């Protein structure tokens, strides 16, 4: 089963993000592996792109260096969090594919926007379409395996 969040008009969610902005990073340790065209960031990794923020214990940044350095993909592990505006996504591991403009989180994922929460096994955020999809799987403690669970807040009158 899958459940989708669509970007609300005017909402600052992850899915409506412009991925052409510069990428900034900080970590306890950085290892440049030039022959493999990758950079390993480890220990309290913080990567920002505009108002999008990714945190993790470790990331591998794959790039090409033909005419200028171009990030292709970021693989993140260890308590991965992606945040923008009032939307926060969490999972055990994540991939930010710059070419496809997709962010994928897996392993007990949660997606929180304001008071609304979705939980499941895998989250796909399509930056092109503005659609976030949560698939069932081994979700967080307390959720039913293979199913998507969540809470939608109801406005009070």
Query: For the domain that residue 103 is a member of, what is the CATH number?
Result: 2.60.450.10
Q: Is residue 61 part of a domain?
A: yes
Alpha helical stretches, state H, the chain: none
Taking only the tens place, the pLDDT of each residue in 24-33 is 999 999 999 9
Residue 155 lies in a domain: no
The residues of the chain scoring below 50 in pLDDT are 1-12, 139, 142-143
Q: In terms of C-beta distances under 8 Å and separation of at least 24 residues, what long-range contacts does 141-144 make, across chains too?
A: 143/119
Q: Is residue 157 part of a domain?
A: no
State residue 6's pLDDT score: 44
Residue 82 lies in a domain: yes
- Number of domains composing the chain: 1
What's the pTM?
0.82
Q: Check residue 154 and give its pLDDT.
A: 83
* Distance separating alpha carbons of residues 128 and 62, to the nearest angstrom: 21
In a domain, 49, yes or no: yes
Please indicate, yes or no, if residue 15 is contained in any of the structural domains: yes
CB count in 10 Å sphere of residue 148: 23
Residues spanned by the domain of 114 = 2-150
Within a domain: 156: no
Contact (Cβ atoms closer than 8 angstroms) between residue 74 and residue 90: no
């Amino acid at each position: 089963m899958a459940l989708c969040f669509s970007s609300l008009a005017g909402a600052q969610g992850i899915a409506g993000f412009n991925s052409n902005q510069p990428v900034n990073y900080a970590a306890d340790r950085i290892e440049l592996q030039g022959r493999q065209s990758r950079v390993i960031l480890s220990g309290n990794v913080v990567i920002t792109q505009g108002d999008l923020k990714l945190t993790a214990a470790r990331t591998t940044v794959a790039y090409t260096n033909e005419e200028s350095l171009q990030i292709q993909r970021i693989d993140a592990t260890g308590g991965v969090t992606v945040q923008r505006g009032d939307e926060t996504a969490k999972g055990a591991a994540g991939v930010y594919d710059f070419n496809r403009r997709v962010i994928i989180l897996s392993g007990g994922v949660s997606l929180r926007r304001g008071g609304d929460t979705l939980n499941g096994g895998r989250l796909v955020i399509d930056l092109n379409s503005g659609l976030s999809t949560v698939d069932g799987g081994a979700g967080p403690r307390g959720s039913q395996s293979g199913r998507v669970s969540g809470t939608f807040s109801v406005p009070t009158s």
